[in-house]
Structure 1
Amino acid sequence: MELTINVEYEQILKLAKQLPAAKIIQLKSDLNTDFIENKAEKEISDFQRFLLSGPVMTDDQLKDFKQNRESWNVWRKK
């Protein structure tokens, strides 16, 4: 059985500040960097979602782009 509660960040912070120092240290160690990084890997930020929804070049467009870039580079060096 799973129970989900909607609690605002400010409420969690207020409760955490009421803990004794030893429990705060324990909480910090439980929420170590590995835990946070693993959690962050699973979540996609708005910016990442924006980038992933952007246009993508086809192979032909990429080939044309590279050829154009080479032509521009030659032209600029003259």
Structure 2
Amino acid sequence: MEITIDIGYEQLLAAIRKLPAAKIEQLKSVLNDEFIEQKASNDLSDFQDFLLKAPIMSKEQYEKHKSDRKNFNSWRME
């Protein structure tokens, strides 16, 4: 069984502040730095998601790009 509750950050903070000290310590131990870093690394920003879904250049396309770039650079210098 799963329950989803939609509350704001301020409401959550107020609820945590009402907890007894022992429960706050327990919550802190569960939400340690390792957990937070793992959670943050799993949440990709829209830009990161965009970059990961972008097309990838093949080795042949990259070699052609380098060659074209070299040709353009020599053409500009003349």
Name the TM-score, length of structure 1 as normaliser.
Answer: 0.64
Cα-Cα RMSD:
2.6
Gaps (5+ residues) in structure 2?
A: none
Task: Report the equivalent of 2:47.
Answer: 47
**What is the identity percentage for the equivalent residue pairs of Structure 1 and Structure 2?**
51
In the comparison of the two structures, how many residue pairs are matched?
73
Gaps (5+ residues) in structure 1?
A: none
Match of 2:14, SS state, is helix
1:9 aligns with 2:19: no
Match of 1:24, SS state, is helix
Residue 32 of structure 1 deviates from its aligned partner by: 0.6
Name the TM-score, length of structure 2 as normaliser.
Answer: 0.64
Deviations 1:5-37 (A, max 9, x none): 222222111111222333222211110122222
